[in-house]
Amino acid sequence: MAERSAERTTERTVGGIAERASGWSPGRAGSVGTGLLAYRLVAGAWLRSALAYRWQFWLELTGNALITFLDFAVLAVMYAHVRHLGGFSLAEAGFLYGTSGVCLGLADTLMGSTERLGDRIRDGSLDVVLLRPAPALAQLAADRFALRRLGRVVQGGAVLGWSLAALPVQWTWGRAVMVPLLLVCGTAIFCAVFVVGAAFQFWAPGGAEAQNALTYGGGTLLQFPPTVFGRELVRGVVYGVPLAFVNWLPAMYVLGRPLPFGLPPVLRFGAPVAAVVCAAVAGAAWRAGLRSYRSTGS
């Protein structure tokens, strides 16, 4: 009996190593399914929890709508005075504003809660998450899930819709396909940045601010044409933290503009590669962080 169980143990261990080496296995596909299920369950539970405090729910919703509207009003006022910004027309700038808003908004809705990881580490409630039979990342991403985060998506989407109608662009198949591709890849890149920022909190539980600088700060950066910024900053978000792939680079293809600062033109099509690389880096960072997790005393 003991021998048989020992044999099974070795098999499992070998299986585990094989899974790590190949990076993909039927088990991995199963864990994606479990992750999605967990995300749905946890998000649903939080939505219902939010309804336990109806007043707070409505106040937050109103507050968020107000802030989002003000944000937009400021921009509208600005463009009412300046017709061109960094050589970009109002419709072109609207394209950048809209795509940045939609991508960041979707990523924030899906993954934004991971920034609370530091709190969960400090109060020890991450342990509870790790005890459930579902990937921790999926559960944490759905933590405190709130629909109000979609506000940014709605507002960005409206501006994007207007800009698409107003753009003086000759629509080709390539350009038409590039727009949804941009949104998907851009959302993926922002999601990856959220996850890397969260993983960083395993080592520095107070690191949410650094994460915010990259995500929300990056989102604001990308609302404006790259030409209004300095060469070094733009190169930094191309070759460093690849936020430029979210909208700046693919947008130049859609808008039929040359890349600024002598960047190689092929980068306009680099978004899918950048998204895959970001996702891989985020996955690796997350696993490394989880392994170095040290929990708190009880």
Q: Which stretch binds other proteins (CB under 8 A): 5-13, 108-116, 152-160, 256-264?
A: 5-13
CA distances from 51 to 58, 145, 152 (A): 9, 12, 21
CA distances from 279 to 224, 285, 298 (A): 25, 10, 34
* Closest CB 294 distance from other proteins, rounded Å: 6
Can you tell me the distance from the alpha carbon of 230 to that of 261, in angstroms, rounded to the nearest whole number? 9
**Between residue 159 and residue 188, which ones bind other proteins under the rule CB under 8 A?**
none
Can you tell me the distance from the alpha carbon of 218 to that of 199, in angstroms, rounded to the nearest whole number? 18
Q: Is 251 in the site for other proteins (CB under 8 A)?
A: no
* Closest CB 63 distance from other proteins, rounded Å: 20
The angle subtended at Cα 98 by Cα 144 and Cα 191, nearest 5°, is 40
CA 201, 136, 27, 12: dihedral to nearest 10 degrees?
Answer: 80
For residue 94, give both structure tokens.
């609207």
Non-local (6+) Cβ contacts of 213 within 8 A are none
Question: Which one-letter amino acid corresponds to residue 49?
Answer: S
Q: Is 2 in the site for other proteins (CB under 8 A)?
A: yes
Among 125, 212, 220, 227, binds other proteins (CB under 8 A): 125
**Between residue 42 and residue 81, which ones bind other proteins under the rule CB under 8 A?**
45, 48-49, 52-53
**Between residue 135 and residue 164, which ones bind other proteins under the rule CB under 8 A?**
135
Q: Is 38 in the site for other proteins (CB under 8 A)?
A: yes
The angle subtended at Cα 151 by Cα 112 and Cα 113, nearest 5°, is 15
Among 14, 16, 206, 209, binds other proteins (CB under 8 A): 16
3-state secondary structure of 88: strand
**What's the chain's Rg over C-alpha atoms?**
22
HSE (side-chain half, CA atoms, 13 Å) at 74? 7
* Closest CB 129 distance from other proteins, rounded Å: 9
Among 57, 72, 269, 293, binds other proteins (CB under 8 A): 293
Among 14, 37, 73, 273, binds other proteins (CB under 8 A): 37
Q: Which stretch binds other proteins (CB under 8 A): 73-81, 148-156, 271-279, 289-297?
A: 289-297
Among 21, 77, 80, 131, binds other proteins (CB under 8 A): 131
Phi then psi for residue 292, to 5 deg, are -95, 5
Which residue number, 130 or 213, has a Cβ lying nearer to other proteins? 130
Among 12, 28, 84, 287, binds other proteins (CB under 8 A): 12
Which residue number, 49 or 62, has a Cβ lying nearer to other proteins? 49
Which contacts (CB < 8 Å, 24+ apart) does range 209-212 have?
211/115, 212/115
**Between residue 17 and residue 36, which ones bind other proteins under the rule CB under 8 A?**
31, 34
The site for other proteins (CB under 8 A) is made up of 1-2, 5, 8-9, 12-13, 16, 31, 34, 37-38, 41, 45, 48-49, 52-53, 124-125, 127-128, 130-135, 291, 293-295, 297-298
